[in-house]
């Protein structure tokens, strides 16, 4: 199918048309909330393909798997073409692709493991133990963040954090020893490759002549650098500085300014027509965001009619707030014939969810909580995946430690200490240490331990043969689960709860089904075990559960709501200390502008109706504290807002008078 210009003109507004048809040179597309950004990107790529640009020369980078998938599907539908050679990818997945080709130049083997946060924490803990850190000094979460900031250049070593320098070096050499990389490495190591090996960079520059970056305001300095090194002349970035809300993970909206410096011939196109929200909701969002000074001036406008006023409620406390939300959902669903999936409840902090979840359960309203425990973080899933990771990469110590005695096979703490001592003596991985203890004539391992280790090695090696060749991944993994008697292990571990065992076995079934679907997907050209393991590490948190969540109210943090929209939105907890958040104000040296951008993102998720609540009191740390409404509420123009006062408690004698009057009036009207 070809995209003729006449059709394009009819389907796009003038600015969208300009963005779609400007193919060459550097382009900055400022895309306001709800301005049809995804549509512009997909039409633009479709138009490029139609203009005769080969698929293999186009690279589109985005932030979530969901966005990459949606983009690919839309382009397929538009062009009616197979897209085997088009690269639409997240930054991290593209980093993996580069490393799979060339990581050996940096001293890793190509079948490397990718460590998630849990694995990172385990390695920090292990390294800390070796270096005799006290448990008090090992705040693993804090240290993990520090290491991430050091690695990405957001922080430098200074007097305050120098005590962790040795631990960092131990962590880094641990990663290399276990042939593993962490998430930061997926961006940092490709940059290192590009800088240290110009031939590698030249190869990629030669291939990708046209680059597009979605959600550009969310790029970190490192992601920007990776793109800058790759980009030649034809690079288009799409973003909105008003929606930059991820500074805590390194995002910097100032990359927009940097882009204009690095590409001085840049053409700027602004998409300001909003197709999502009513005029009232947009005017509220514009009113709030106009108080920020570090931004490109833009005025979103809508052709969707004025719509209903924004409703603001001041409930007594979080329980009253939760009841109000649940009752409102039931009322609006009936009155306006809406489905539960039409409602979004946005919160600033996870701690707010408990009262709301209880009220929804009480009212029998089905809901899904985004950002809860991800499917792949559940114990039984991590156990199965750990077996697969050790099968794929024997030197993956973190995962080996997870499964060496799961299910229990007599390899307890003392045995693991012996393995660690052997690994330290050989400066090797634990797997090499096992092999050494089994071969050595003077081995300190007992006969019983040797037998247990031999059985463990046999399981791994036997299944390695099967899993690394041919198809039928799910059936092979099922055979592995059966051989290690994992079901019996769960029954023993959760003897008191048959329900927990059933739930966990269902999760394993879901995992096997998803493997089957993945392997049999015609678009999947690489069905190796390595490809599967890298894919699931990169999966966004809720990808697995998405299908089951249709038809439910959506409860999520504001951060998790970015990119989504709902006909009816509740913003809960619009109080000082939550929006703007007390912690973020302290950490960012008073970054009120980012907090305001966060509130702006929350407002612009709403299509038809927006309800905001701010409690008068809230429980914090076993205390009830008085709350002040968020200062951002005052920035919404008054004429757009309807305040709902809480009903005043009426004294007994007044109540009698009111009732008498009502009865009199009733008599008159009868």
What is the rounded distance in angstroms from the CA atom of residue 400 to the CA atom of residue 419? 11
What is the rounded distance in angstroms from the CA atom of residue 187 to the CA atom of residue 190? 6
DSSP bridge pairs for 270: 30
What is the rounded distance in angstroms from the CA atom of residue 645 to the CA atom of residue 630? 17
Question: What are the angstrom distances between the C-alpha of 36 and each of 30, 214, 281, 612?
Answer: 11, 12, 17, 26
Dihedral sign for Cα 138, 141, 145, 148, please.
Answer: positive
Active-site amino acid positions: 37-38, 214-215, 243, 605
Q: Which of 36, 12, 38, 609 is nearest to 278 (CA)?
A: 609
Query: Which runs of consecutive H residues, i.e. helices, occur in 520-557?
Result: 529-538
**Long-range contact list for 453-460, CB < 8 A, 24+ apart?**
453/411, 455/409, 456/404, 456/409, 456/411, 459/483, 459/484, 460/387, 460/390, 460/391, 460/394
DSSP assignment of 398-459 equals HHHHHHTTSS--S--HHHHHHHHHHHHHHT--HHHHHHHHHH-TT--S-HHHHHHHHHHHHH
Sheet holding 87-90, edge to edge: 87-90, 58-62, 210-213, 234-239, 26-31, 267-271
* Through-space distance between the first and last CA atoms of the chain, rounded to whole angstroms: 69
DSSP assignment of 365-389 equals --EEETTSS-GGGSHHHHHHHHHHH
In angstroms and rounded to an integer, the radius of gyration of the C-alpha atoms of the chain is 28
Three-class SS of residue 31? strand
CB 222 within 8 A of CB 244: no
Dihedral sign for Cα 493, 494, 498, 500, please.
Answer: negative
What is the rounded distance in angstroms from the CA atom of residue 94 to the CA atom of residue 223? 11
**Which tokens is 467 given?**
């899993």
**Long-range contact list for 621-627, CB < 8 A, 24+ apart?**
624/317, 627/575, 627/576, 627/577
Question: What are the angstrom distances between the C-alpha of 254 and each of 74, 286, 365, 666?
Answer: 30, 21, 42, 65
Question: What are the angstrom distances between the C-alpha of 543 and each of 64, 69, 230, 387?
Answer: 10, 11, 29, 22
């Amino acid at each position: 199918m070809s995209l003729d210009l006449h059709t394009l003109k009819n389907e796009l507004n003038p600015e969208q048309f300009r963005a779609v048809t400007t193919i060459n040179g550097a382009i900055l597309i400022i895309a306001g909330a709800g301005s049809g950004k995804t549509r512009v990107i997909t039409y633009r790529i479709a138009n490029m393909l139609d203009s005769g640009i080969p698929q293999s020369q186009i690279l589109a980078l985005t932030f979530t798997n969901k966005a990459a998938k949606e983009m690919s599907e839309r382009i397929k539908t538009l062009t009616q073409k197979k897209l085997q050679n088009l690269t639409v990818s997240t930054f991290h997945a593209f980093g993996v692709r580069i490393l799979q080709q060339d990581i050996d130049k940096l001293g890793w083997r190509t079948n490397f493991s990718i460590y998630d946060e849990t694995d990172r924490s385990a390695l920090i803990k292990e390294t800390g133990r070796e270096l005799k850190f006290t448990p008090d000094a090992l705040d693993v979460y804090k240290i993990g963040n520090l290491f991430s900031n050091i690695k990405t250049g957001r922080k430098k070593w200074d007097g305050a954090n120098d005590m962790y320098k040795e631990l960092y070096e131990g962590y880094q050499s641990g990663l290399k020893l276990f042939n593993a990389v962490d998430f930061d490495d997926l961006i940092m190591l490709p940059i290192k490759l590009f800088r240290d090996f110009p031939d590698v960079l030249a190869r990629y520059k030669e291939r990708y002549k046209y680059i597009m970056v979605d959600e550009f305001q969310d790029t970190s300095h490192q992601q920007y650098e990776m793109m800058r090194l790759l980009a030649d002349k034809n690079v288009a970035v799409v973003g909105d500085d008003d929606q930059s809300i991820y500074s805590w993970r390194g995002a910097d909206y100032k990359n927009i300014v940097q882009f204009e410096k690095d590409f001085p011939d840049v053409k700027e196109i602004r998409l300001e027509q909003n197709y999502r929200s009513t005029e009232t909701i947009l005017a509220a969002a514009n009113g709030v965001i106009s108080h920020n000074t570090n931004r490109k001036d833009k005025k979103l406008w809508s052709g969707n009619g004025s719509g209903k006023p924004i409703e603001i409620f001041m409930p007594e406390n979080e329980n009253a707030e939760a009841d109000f939300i649940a009752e409102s959902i039931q009322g609006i669903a009936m009155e306006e014939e809406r489905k539960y999936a039409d409602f979004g409840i946005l919160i600033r902090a996870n701690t707010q969810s408990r009262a709301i979840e209880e009220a929804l359960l009480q009212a029998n309203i089905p809901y899904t909580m985004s950002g809860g425990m991800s499917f792949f973080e559940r114990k039984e899933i991590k156990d199965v995946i750990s077996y697969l990771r050790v099968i794929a990469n024997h030197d993956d110590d973190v995962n080996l430690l997870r499964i060496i005695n799961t299910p229990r096979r007599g390899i307890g703490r003392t045995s693991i200490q012996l393995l660690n001592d052997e690994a330290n003596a050989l400066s090797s991985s634990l797997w090499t240490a096992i092999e050494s203890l089994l071969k050595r004539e003077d081995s300190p391992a007992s006969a019983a331990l040797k037998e247990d280790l031999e059985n463990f090695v046999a399981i791994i090696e036997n299944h390695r043969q099967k899993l690394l060749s041919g198809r039928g991944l799910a059936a092979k993994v099922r055979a592995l689960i059966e051989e290690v008697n994992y079901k019996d292990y769960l029954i023993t571990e959760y003897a008191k709860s048959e329900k927990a065992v059933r739930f966990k076995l269902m999760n394993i079934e879901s995992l096997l089904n998803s493997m089957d679907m993945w392997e049999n997907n015609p678009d999947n050209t690489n069905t190796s075990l390595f490809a599967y393991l890298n894919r699931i590490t990169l999966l966004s948190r809720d990808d697995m559960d998405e299908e089951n969540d249709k038809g439910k109210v959506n409860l999520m943090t504001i951060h998790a709501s970015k990119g989504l929209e709902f006909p009816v939105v509740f913003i809960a907890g619009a109080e000082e200390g939550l929006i703007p958040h007390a912690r973020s104000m302290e950490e960012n040296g008073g970054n009120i502008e980012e907090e305001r951008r966060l509130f702006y993102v929350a407002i612009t998720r709403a299509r038809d109706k927006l309800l905001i609540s701010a409690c008068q009191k809230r429980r914090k740390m076993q205390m009830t504290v008085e709350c002040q409404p968020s200062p951002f509420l005052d920035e919404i123009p008054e004429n757009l807002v309807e305040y709902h006062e809480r009903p005043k408690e009426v004294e007994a004698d007044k109540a009698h008078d009111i009732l008498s009057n009502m009865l009199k009036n009733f008599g008159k009207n009868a």
